[in-house]
Amino acid sequence: MVKAYKQSIVILFFLSLFISCKSAKVDHGNIAYLSTKTILKKNKELKFTPDYLKSNLTVKYKGKADIPTLNAALRIAKDSVIWISFSKLGFPVGKMLIEPNRVRFYEKLNQSYFDGDFELISNWMGTNFDFNMVQNLFYGEALFELKKNQLLSEIDQNSYKLSAKQKGDVFQLFYWFDSVYFKLKKEEVLHLGKSQKLTILYKDFQKINESLFPKGFVIEAKEKENTTLIDVQYKNTSQMNTLKFPFSIPKNYKKIELK
């Protein structure tokens, strides 16, 4: 239970971001084929990355041991800081600070902390992660850069599916885009050598400043027979002019070392 709790605190930073506003309902009909270039162009038109943004989150975790629902406060400064403060039943349980070249967090239950780079996250997810990829996930954008000359488009279940022209020996990537607003609905990363599969499902959209964001998302991580699910809901999200990111590892906490 304790191990799963500590893992959940780290995994939970893989959250996505939305802006509170009216819901944008999607009405799919029969859709026509579009080129990769057109799909990516339309997706870019609604892209929104505010300089400062904050939100409250509700997170459910299911893995080898289920964790009671956690709440979190999220703050982002574009391209520089992602800050998350976790709480349970109104009591603070930990904080995380993610910067372009550094990841830090501490948790109060076992009075431990981590201070390092993205190696831990990369090992867990089966691919190399960096700050931009984490930020893209928060904003509901694809983890990896989408290059039109490297992707093929097709219609799959009333969505536009993009996949690599040349299949990799180690990784395979797939993306599904909404056929009305061209926002990312689903993303899959397959690590063939390790039998790992990461799936990100974005929920219904909401609109602000002519841009669309998911109301939440679900992460499903599979490795052989083990499955981890993280269900995230957002509320009270707002764009800010500036934000503060208080973070200080308490004294006498034990450092977590990677093996």
pLDDT tens track for 32-69: 999 999 999 999 988 877 899 889 999 888 877 677 78
With a threshold of 0.85, does the pTM exceed it? no
- Cα(206)–Cα(209) distance, integer angstroms: 10
Distance CA 80, CA 61 (A): 27
Q: What is the mean pLDDT of residues 71-82?
A: 96
Mean pLDDT taken over the chain: 82
Share of the chain above pLDDT 90, in %: 44
User: Can you give the residue ranges of every domain in the chain?
Assistant: 2-238
From the options 3.30.365.10, 3.40.190.10, 2.50.20.10, 2.40.37.20, give the CATH code of 2-238.
2.50.20.10
Which range has the worst mean pLDDT, 62-66, 220-224, 246-250?
A: 62-66
